[in-house]
Amino acid sequence: MTVELAFDDRGSGPPLVVLHGLFGAKRNWATIAKALAPRHRVLTVDLRNHGASPWDAVHDYPALAGDVARFIHTHVGGPAAVLGHSMGGKAAMVLALEEPDLVERLIVVDIAPAPSRTTLIDALQAMKNVPLATCTRRTEAETALAESIPDPAVRAFLVQNVTTGPNGLAWAVNLEALERNFPAIVGFPDVAAGRTFTGPTLFVVGERSDYVRPEHHAVIRRLFPAATIEVVAGAGHWVHAEAPDAFLAVLSGFL
């Protein structure tokens, strides 16, 4: 079953659909969307189990890609450029491989079509351990994460998912579903023999990240034969946030 995704719609011109990563949301891409809006219609979405989009027990890449396919049919009505970061990048790749007529061109940000090495399961478990019921402010939740997550930038990113509801503070991400489906999230589904996406494809890689490694290049070339790989100097996994000007230069040239 697909779900109807929450989204923001900015600008006019050729459509670009943007898919965030794990624990992210459409708001994380607002700066990039604003910069692109003079020349593109930028639709940033909240993927299922994130942000303002519905929760569902299933969280794997066929389901995520199905949601985005429904979104493009409903809100674009034809093919769009699709950009995805990390988890969103895997969803975008699956969409391009399964429904290539919906993807005019593909941008994958710092992720490979392969299982990922990540410590984000530790972040998920730390989030579950935060006593939100006794917190009254987001800063208290951030303090509660400090022992498990020493990096203040990562903590600040995670607590953006704290929302205020009728019963106080709550997580805007479905931690139970994400934990249950974590093997699927860090994995990548099997691709049918001979299936490829032949449209224009760009992989943007952070120089300091190890999510896309040299051993991944062969599978990238096999599944996406028109792919080019651009490395952004000095950037880590969150390329768009760590080096926005360089990221925009690469992205704008490709678009």
Q: Domains of the chain (ranges plus CATH)?
A: 7-116+188-254 (3.40.50.1820), 120-179 (no CATH)
The average pLDDT across 196-222 equals 97
* 116: annotated active-site residue: no
Question: Using one digit for the tens of pLDDT, what is the confidence trace for 199-210?
Answer: 999 999 999 999
The answer to whether 224 touches 196, Cβ cutoff 8 Å, is yes
* 176: annotated active-site residue: yes
Asked if residue 127 has pLDDT above 90, the reply is: yes
Strands of the chain (E only): list them. Answer: 7-10, 15-19, 41-45, 80-85, 103-109, 162-165, 168-171, 201-206, 227-232
Q: Give the confidence band of 117 by pLDDT, cuts at 50, 70, 90.
A: confident
In sequence order, the β-bridge partners of residue 152 are none
Q: Which amino acid is at 59?
A: H
* 86: annotated active-site residue: yes
The one catalytic residue in 53, 86, 116, 209 is 86
Cα distances (angstroms) measured from residue 114 to each of 111, 117, 191, 217: 8, 10, 11, 10
Share of the chain above pLDDT 70, in %: 100
In sequence order, the β-bridge partners of residue 7 are 45
Cα distances (angstroms) measured from residue 12 to each of 36, 38, 122: 9, 7, 40
Question: Using one digit for the tens of pLDDT, what is the confidence trace for 167-177?
Answer: 789 999 999 99
Please provide the average confidence, as pLDDT, over all residues in the chain.
95
The one catalytic residue in 104, 237, 240, 242 is 237
Question: Using one digit for the tens of pLDDT, what is the confidence trace for 142-169?
Answer: 999 998 898 898 899 999 999 987 778 9
